[in-house]
Chain A
Amino acid sequence: MSQFQVVEVSSEVILAAARGDVRAHEQIYITYRRVVYNLIRRLIARPAVADEILQDVFVEILRSIGSYAGSGSFGGWVRALTINKCLMHLRSPWHRSLLWIDAQEPEDAANALDAIAVQGEAVASAGQDLERAMATLPALTRAVVWLHDVEGYTHGEIANLLKRTPSFSKSQLSRAHARLRNLLDSPDGSVPCIPVSTSC
Chain B
Amino acid sequence: MHPRIDQLLSLRDGEPVDAATREHAESCAACAASLHRLTQRRHELQNLPPFDAPEIDYSLIRARAAESAPAAMNGYQWTAVAAAMAAAVIAGFMAVDRDHGAPSVQVRSPAIASGVGESPEPALAQLVERSRELDQLLQNMPRRPEVQRVSLASTVDRLEQRVQWLDMQLSSAPDVAADEALSRRMWRERVNLMDSLVAVRYAESLPRSAFAGEPPG
Contact = CB atoms under 8 A, between A and B. Distances in A.
Contacts of A34: 50, 52-53
Interface in B23-47: 30-31, 33-34, 37-38, 41-42, 44-46
Interface of A: 1, 3, 22, 25-26, 29, 33-38, 41, 47, 51, 54-55, 58-60, 62-64, 66-67, 69, 71-72, 76-77, 80-81, 84-85, 87-88, 91-94, 96-97, 102, 130-131, 134, 145-146, 149-150, 157, 160-161, 163, 170-171, 173-174, 177-178, 180-181, 185, 193-197
Contacts of B131: 163
The 7 closest A-B pairs by CB, nearest first: A80-B172, A62-B65, A37-B53, A174-B6, A38-B50, A41-B51, A193-B30
A80 B170 CA distance: 10
B174 A72 contact: yes
B5 A197 contact: yes
Contacts, number: 147
Contact of B31 (A63, A76, A193): A193
Nearest to A161: B171
Question: Secondary structure of the B side of the interface?
Answer: helix
B120 interface: no
A59 B34 contact: no
A160 B56 contact: no
B172 A177 contact: no
B9 interface: yes
Given A91-B135, A93-B139, A177-B5, A59 B61 contact: yes
Interface string B56-93: 10101110110011100000000000000000000000
Contact of B6 (A67, A88, A92, A197): A197
Q: Which residue, A36, A38, A171, has most C-beta atoms of chain B within 10 A?
A: A38
23 contacts: A22-B62, A36-B53, A37-B51, A37-B53, A38-B51, A51-B54, A54-B56, A59-B64, A59-B68, A63-B65, A63-B68, A64-B70, A84-B171, A88-B167, A92-B160, A130-B48, A161-B167, A171-B6, A174-B6, A181-B41, A193-B31, A194-B4, A196-B5
A93 B202 CA distance: 13
Contacts of B139: 91, 93, 96, 102
Nearest to B175: A69
